[in-house]
Structure 1
């Protein structure tokens, strides 16, 4: 299995592979469930290589470690998963 960092880099920087709608599923420790967010709604801070950030509906920024990413979908199809 490809490391999640490598897959996310490929989505961001490989123009051919990066075409399509990507969704990241990560484990939320508060809700105790997998939360799916569109890839276009996440940001990758330059000073935090092992995390991504997202802004919730109330405008708060959340920093999510990459080890909590559990799945990645491309055009609705599961392309990456870990337990």
Structure 2
């Protein structure tokens, strides 16, 4: 978890460790010969996740901010 991360949710903190090599030093996964290939795979896969592709029902709550009643400035 990044120290200045505003979302300090218990479910979204920590790290992922992947065992890349066997005891003899050979790669365990043919499609991931190094750490960079794993990171590139994650970058391609995360936007395609079900939770990322679903549209929120009821509209976007962040888009509604700033709309509605406006306060009038003036002399009292």
User: TM-score, normalised on structure 2?
Assistant: 0.24
Relative to total residues, which structure has the larger strand share, 1 or 2? Answer: 1
**Structure with a larger share of its residues in helix:** 2
Q: Mark the structure with the bigger radius of gyration.
A: 2
Structure with more contact order per residue of length (Cα contacts < 8 Å, sep ≥ 6): 1
